[in-house]
Amino acid sequence: MPSKHNKNAIRLEFAPGALVHTNLSGAAFSRECLWVAGDEACAIDRLRRLDPSGIELLRFGDGLSFSLAELLDLPGGADEEADLEGMAVADGYLWVVGSHGLKRKNAKSDRDHAENAKRLAKVTLDSNRRLLACLPIEMGEDGNPSLVREAKDGRRARRLKGDAEANLLTQALSDDPHFGPYLGIPGKDNGLDIEGLVVDGKRLLLGLRGPVLRGWSALLEIALEAKGEQLRLVPLDESGSLIRKHFLQLEGLGIRDLHFSGNDLYILAGPTMVLDGDIRVFKWPNAKSLLAANREPVRFDAALTQMLSLPHGHGTNRAEALCELPAELAAHKPSWLVLYDAPGPDRKDGEYTVFGDVIHQ
């Protein structure tokens, strides 16, 4: 279980012009390559492990960007942000999920009061935000993994059926008594905001940053199958349930990321709204087995273990991504990578190099 925190233990070197280095929100490994996503882009970046430099033993760079528009038929434009938040590698695919949430315009210091009032009242939905997709990973001739629209073995990139306004998930949630009322509220206002993703076979868990309901955070459990060029929701049991809800006691924090390690589920949690506040890692012991055996449509689980707190700054250094380091990168002891949105000066080296942390036993 993670109990120690090594700051700036991983160096990420991005190419000039990169879009994700200051808004990192998701991470996953394929061997010694690191996939990263940002919430202001419509692409996935792959960073390759580089030779150590001095005391910097974990160094990644030589970035390559994969446009989602080249891998999927998107509901929105190729340059319209997807607000990617969660990532997971499973069974030869890289799974990605967007926030699915609305956004509200912010006030600006160079605008007058009347114009800022109009801005603050304007709520929009970017067409690519309601995205849940699986992207085939295929090894290239150079020995590095790439994302492809169709792999040589027939695996295809697919996304959950939907359009610019809704998909099968939001349709299933529209009349849900807990989450339906929050579909029309911007994510950063405690509205619907998906930020975590883990995969277990056909079952997926989606972690919600919001809404947090009377201090209870939520996981949504769904099952997917491929049908033609798309993914469809399938019933989780003989009762026909398309969604199971798991409410977790994370002391009022929303879920920022999820990661399975063996049978345990690790949860990165932080403030639901745009606040500087506690960021913690929780452990749900034996979660994978408990979830596989569960048939209840709604569960409440309060017996989670808080592992450690992570640092944050004033408007900077917000931990957004959590994933386990491959054993060969972690001296064969359990270790986790943490990446930060809005890195402060203490997490940057020049304009396009940022640092992540490692937590371990």
Q: Which residues of 285-294 are buried (b: 16+ CB within 10 A; e: fewer)?
A: eebbeebeee
Q: What is the pLDDT of residues 242-299, one digit of tens each?
A: 999 999 999 999 999 999 999 999 999 999 988 788 899 999 999 999 999 999 999 9
Interstrand relation of 4-13 and 353-360 (parallel, antiparallel or unpaired): antiparallel
As a whole number, mean pLDDT of residues 210-233 equals: 96
Token pair 């402060």 is at which residue? 344
Q: What is the pLDDT of residues 312-353, one digit of tens each?
A: 888 899 999 999 999 888 877 889 999 999 999 999 999 999
Query: Which residues, in sequence order, are bridge partners of residue 4?
Result: 360
Distance CA 180, CA 173 (A): 5
pLDDT confidence of 1, banded at 50, 70, 90? Answer: low
What domains lie within the chain, and their CATH numbers? 4-360 (2.115.10)
Distance CA 160, CA 212 (A): 25
As a whole number, mean pLDDT of residues 49-61 equals: 86
Distance CA 176, CA 171 (A): 10
Please check whether residue 134 is in contact with residue 231, taking contact to mean a CB–CB distance below 8 angstroms: yes
Q: What is the pLDDT of residues 101-116, one digit of tens each?
A: 999 999 999 999 999 9
The pair of three-digit structure tokens given for residue 179, joined into one six-digit string: 């989450």
* Residue from 207, 206, 211, 203 nearest 233 by CA: 203
Q: Which of 50-54, 208-212, 219-223, 255-259 has the lowest mean pLDDT?
A: 50-54
Distance CA 293, CA 89 (A): 23
Q: If you average pLDDT over every residue of the chain, what do you get?
A: 93
Distance CA 326, CA 33 (A): 10
As a whole number, mean pLDDT of residues 139-154 equals: 94
